[in-house]
Structure 1
Amino acid sequence: MKSDPMWHTLGTMSPLTDSHGRTKRKLRISLTDRCNFRCTYCMPEHPDWLPRASLLDRGEILRLAGLFVDQGIDQIRLTGGEPLLRRDLVECVSAMQGLRERGLRRLSMTTNASRIAPLARTLVAAGIDDFNVSLDAVDPVVFRQLTKREVAPVLDGIRALADAGASVKLNAVVVRGDNDGEIVPLLEWAMAQGLPLRFIEYMPLDAPGHWRRDAVMSEAEMLAAIGVHHRVETLARSSDPASPYQVDGRYPLGIISTVSHPFCASCDRLRLTATGELFTCLFSPVGTPLGTRLREGADDATLEAIVRRAVWLKDAGYASRPGPVERPITMHAMGG
């Protein structure tokens, strides 16, 4: 085992690194596959929810999260589905705080914010460091067409998070013909609120056969639309998936361009589904069933070895095989 490139020569645990030299620092944990929205780019028209008994319980989530933290993961993001539909969400967040002494630096959450207003202060007090809020339009009609829900509760949730002193960033998936007309209005709304925004190219992660390449609004096209109304400067790129820009000399904008400019070479992320299936890439056709092995009685050493092997074998990513991925799990169950 000591000669394996995944281990130091003295046998101590090395960082989680794949065969392409990318070290993993971030883990997304889906708390549930359920969501109260029906976003057209994410959710099948008639979703089949996982049996509740198949979802990891709080103790199982904490155990697996701890295994990853012990192997160098220092940022965890709680996702869904919609994590606010998890009944013991606050308890899960509180339990995660014990991982900070083991190396966890940041605990984040991605949410549609429609149900967060009553819990905003509680979640901040429980230990969430920052929130990513999905907001694909500010126009009520466009928002309803995209999500089959109303935008007002989302805006209320964003205000509640801001009032609670939370760090908030907005994410918007742009789909040509659906909400590309919202690029500038959404940008200007976010600027007025003083909230950072990231536009995301429409990725082939929804129901098989649904994604169309011509529905992708590329990074260049988004910048062109913004440039008609605002001055946009390109900033130096980091390992973050978003290309950074500065609007009008003061506002930070990011664009995640997986389709037109994949960022696979710097990927430092892993994903764990609500059933404990590890996906080393957002576009992996298959996952590694950690939750199943845990429930079969595997000890921590065995689970750690499974994780390290799966990460080591991670392929080059979307850049090496662009296009839709065929698999039974869709984006709502995968976690953002």
Structure 2
Amino acid sequence: MLTDAHHRIIDYVRLSVTDRCNLRCTYCMPEHMRFVKSSALLTDAEIVTLLETLASAGISKVRITGGEPFLRPGLIPLLASIKAIAGIQQIAITTNGVLTHRYIPDLKALGITHVNLSLDTLQPQRFHQITRRDRFAAVMQTLDSLLAHQLQVKINVVVMDQVNTDELVPFAALTRELPVSVRFIEEMPFNGQGHAFSGINWNYETILDTLRERYTLHKLPDAPHSTALNYSIPGHAGNIGVIPAYSRTFCGTCNRLRISATGSVKTCLYGPDALNARDLMRSGEALLPAIQQALHHRAANGFAAERLHAGTPESMSVIGG
């Protein structure tokens, strides 16, 4: 089993398959983004080799991210190859939903049941302002189809000061009829622009206080290693969660690695790259010992990791969502 310097078992990897995205969300990336060349990305064969190696050391859950993962050509066959790896028990996907609709039957056929949908507003005009693209209808079509195919859906809402804080209650209201988990996420500094961010103004406590003005919240048990504080609302089919992504209250139980589309491995979202798996594989060097060595130097939490990371934070689309 992979373990870190603080005796935490690592059994979950978030793997970006592309840095490209068809939206330009203001909290995630600059409007004019420069993407890497395709030759710099992990190939399908490299992804499979990487995940086979990690699975042999106890990685059992994989989340596919981007950029927008459905912009990667041949994603469905790649997912089928990942699904076939011994030891991988669950594959989940995070998507913005713009292109996802047509692939939902394929996901269902592969047995991929967990999809996180990024959606920061329920207002079409505001969607355009946040994403700089007019694709709200496509995202809502994807949401409807995910539910119709009975996939487990989490809606990820980044809470931004003076942007969408008036929509906390409308988002929570979705859970009355829909069996979804709406997860409110503190904003983080990974916009690739060096701009200030509002996470410190709307932290998880402020979000919960605002929701309690309208709803009675019942605390639900949180799964081991959960990043969200989960709650039910009496009479609602779904539930809500709040993720202290900037407050980082969950760091003590972190069980994950992040790997970018170009193979950069982060042992913490807030920390620097620890190594590059693509370069190791292409040079024929041993992968697993290098990853274990990086974990042995892992910071205790996101605050300690942040102190090790000099310079302007990267775009989340570069890191991997």
- Fold match, TM over 0.5? yes
* Residue pair 2:14, 2:320 contacting (<8 A) in 1 also: yes
Aligned-partner Cα distance in 1 for 2:207–2:149: 32
User: Residues 327 and 168 from structure 1, CA distance in 2 versus in 1: closer, same or farther, beyond 3 angstroms?
Assistant: same
Q: Which residue of 2 aligns with 1:128?
A: 112
User: Residues 214 and 58 from structure 1, CA distance in 2 versus in 1: closer, same or farther, beyond 3 angstroms?
Assistant: closer
- CA RMSD in angstroms, aligned pairs only: 1.9
Q: Secondary structure at the match of 1:192?
A: coil
Match 1:277 to one of 235, 241, 264: 264
Q: Which residue of 2 aligns with 1:206?
A: 191
Gapped runs of 5+ residues in structure 1?
A: 1-14
User: Residues 115 and 208 from structure 1, CA distance in 2 versus in 1: closer, same or farther, beyond 3 angstroms?
Assistant: closer
**Identical residues among aligned pairs (%):** 33
Q: Which residue of 2 aligns with 1:258?
A: 245
* Residue pair 1:264, 1:319 contacting (<8 A) in 2 also: no
Q: Which residue of 2 aligns with 1:305?
A: 289
Gapped runs of 5+ residues in structure 2?
A: none
Give the C-alpha shift of residue 184 in structure 1: 0.8
User: Residues 166 and 62 from structure 1, CA distance in 2 versus in 1: closer, same or farther, beyond 3 angstroms?
Assistant: same
Give the C-alpha shift of residue 262 in structure 1: 2.4
Aligned length: 317
Q: Which residue of 2 aligns with 1:189?
A: 174
Match 1:159 to one of 129, 137, 144: 144
Highest CA radius of gyration, 1 or 2? 1
Aligned-partner Cα distance in 1 for 2:54–2:60: 9
Q: Which amino acid aligns with 2:287?
A: L
**Counterparts in 2 of 1:1-336, with a 5 A limit?**
15-99=1-85, 102-149=86-133, 150-213=135-198, 216-238=201-223, 239-248=225-234, 250=236, 251-298=238-285, 302-320=286-304, 326=311, 329-336=314-321
**TM-score normalised according to structure 2 size:** 0.93
Q: Which runs of 4+ in 1 moved over 6 A?
A: none
Aligned-partner Cα distance in 1 for 2:79–2:310: 32
Aligned-partner Cα distance in 1 for 2:312–2:54: 25
* Residue pair 1:131, 1:168 contacting (<8 A) in 2 also: yes
Aligned-partner Cα distance in 1 for 2:310–2:136: 30
Give the C-alpha shift of residue 236 in structure 1: 4.0
